């Protein structure tokens, strides 16, 4: 008994320190370099606040350090590739994104943004075909290096691929705040359609949902538009992809935190409902106290220090959408979330519907995510191409 407890304690100690080490080695440097590069023209206090928002994002903290995941590695590599994109180092971006995708396949959520932005950049050049070929060679070379141990036999490669696409587990398992689960209260998707049909439906709806942001980046690629495309594309996957996990909400949260200074209202709107959407998972893991503590910490953090006379606020693409921060809607939304938490924690659900309150929580979060996605897709189409953006900034100055 004592030896088992000792082994368990050592295992937790090892997991905690390996996660923390991954943060220090991969995620923290990527966040620091991103802020230094993307927000290099902002004041020091603004850059410090933006870095703080990236590093203390509560959902990533509680999943990686409480649920014991290593999302910080794939998300750190994705953030590093985002730095390379906004700095116009496309080949470096291709390598880092390929590494992120090979570390965790859920980084495919960012594929629409990377593909459309890099394609848009290549089209703008004198030799677009040559540019696409260079990127393709870099991506294939990186994948070959990562997959080399599994390419020795066909059986090894097929075993890895079968684990990447667990179709036998169904459209969804636990309650997740996406379209399929959020609407399953009214439409019993699993009973109406077979798994192959649901897989095709998931693929087609994901592509359709991601298409508007992809077209915008092909037409007018820009650094800010690319980050919004990361957010919109990852939400398209989160909403409609097959077999989505609750923690997949970390994917849209990364670009939302990277855009903290440009879109602070999006960050403050998204983080609480991302946490709420994972509450049933965190409760099962015994993380109720860290859940409320991290939410309280997030709300107690100082607001965005960006000045109202900042140049970016004067550009048409930055016109605020007031409804996200409307006081009446915000109060009603918070009241609804509090009521659902109390029901879930202290009220026994009906015997016939044992997971009723989990369904309410996820559907409630999905409704808020849907409002945000409509907003961010509209916002992305207001962002001009980089050359127009720079010209607008110079005119204001």
Q: How far apart are CA 315 and CA 236, in angstroms?
A: 27
* Overall average pLDDT of the 172-197 stretch: 90
Residue 342's pLDDT band, with cuts at 50, 70 and 90, is very high
Q: Is residue 158 part of a domain?
A: no
Q: Is the pLDDT of residue 192 over 70?
A: yes
* Overall average pLDDT of the 78-88 stretch: 96
Using only C-alpha atoms, what is the Rg of the chain?
22
Q: Is the pLDDT of residue 323 over 70?
A: no
Q: Is residue 287 part of a domain?
A: yes
Q: What confidence score (pLDDT) does residue 396 get?
A: 36
Q: Is residue 159 part of a domain?
A: no
- Token code pair at residue 201: 């439906």
Q: What confidence score (pLDDT) does residue 322 get?
A: 57
Residue 195 has a CB neighbour count (10 Å cut-off) of 14
The range of the structural domain enclosing residue 358 comes to 2-147+173-304+311-392
Contact (CB, 8 A) for 365 and 177: yes
Query: Which is higher by pLDDT, 128 or 137?
Result: 137
Q: Is the pLDDT of residue 229 over 70?
A: yes
Q: Is residue 119 part of a domain?
A: yes
Q: Is residue 233 part of a domain?
A: yes
By percentage, how much of the chain surpasses pLDDT 70? 89
Q: Is the pLDDT of residue 306 over 80?
A: no
Q: Is residue 87 part of a domain?
A: yes
Q: Is residue 161 part of a domain?
A: no
Q: Is residue 351 part of a domain?
A: yes
Q: How many domains, the chain? A: 1
């Amino acid at each position: 008994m004592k030896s088992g407890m000792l082994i368990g304690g050592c295992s937790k100690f090892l997991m905690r320190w390996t996660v923390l080490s991954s943060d220090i080695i991969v995620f923290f440097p990527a966040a620091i370099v991103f802020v230094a590069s993307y927000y290099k023209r902002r004041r020091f206090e603004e850059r410090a606040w933006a870095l703080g928002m990236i590093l203390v994002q509560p959902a990533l903290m509680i999943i990686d350090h409480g649920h014991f995941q290593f999302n910080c590695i794939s998300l750190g590599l994705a953030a590093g590739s985002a730095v390379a994109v906004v700095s116009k180092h496309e080949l470096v971006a291709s390598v880092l994104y390929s590494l992120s995708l090979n570390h965790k396949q859920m980084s495919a959520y960012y594929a629409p943004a990377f593909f459309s932005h890099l394609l848009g950049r290549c089209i703008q050049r004198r030799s677009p075909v040559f540019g696409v070929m260079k990127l393709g060679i870099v991506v294939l070379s990186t994948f070959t290096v990562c997959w080399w141990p599994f390419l020795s036999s066909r059986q090894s490669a097929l075993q890895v691929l079968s684990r990447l696409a667990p179709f036998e587990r169904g459209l969804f398992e636990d309650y997740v705040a996406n379209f399929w689960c959020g609407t399953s209260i009214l439409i019993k998707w699993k009973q109406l359609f077979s798994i192959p049909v649901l897989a095709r439906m998931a693929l087609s709806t994901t592509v359709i949902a991601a298409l508007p942001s992809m077209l915008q980046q092909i037409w007018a690629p820009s650094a800010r538009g690319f980050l919004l495309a990361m957010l919109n594309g990852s939400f398209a996957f989160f909403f409609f992809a097959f077999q989505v996990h609750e923690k997949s909400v970390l994917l849209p949260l990364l670009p939302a935190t990277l855009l903290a200074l440009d879109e602070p209202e999006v960050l403050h709107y998204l983080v609480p409902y991302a946490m709420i959407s994972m509450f049933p998972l965190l409760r099962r893991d015994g993380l109720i106290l860290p859940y409320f503590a991290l939410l309280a910490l997030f709300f107690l953090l100082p607001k965005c220090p960006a000045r109202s006379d900042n140049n970016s606020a004067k550009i048409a693409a930055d016109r605020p959408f007031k409804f996200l921060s409307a006081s009446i809607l915000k109060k009603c939304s918070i009241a609804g979330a509090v009521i659902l938490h109390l029901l879930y924690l202290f009220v026994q659900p009906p015997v016939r519907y044992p997971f009723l309150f989990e369904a309410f929580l996820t559907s409630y979060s999905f409704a808020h995510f849907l409002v945000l996605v409509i907003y961010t897709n509209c916002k992305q189409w207001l962002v001009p191409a980089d050359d127009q953006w720079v010209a607008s900034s110079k005119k204001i100055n």
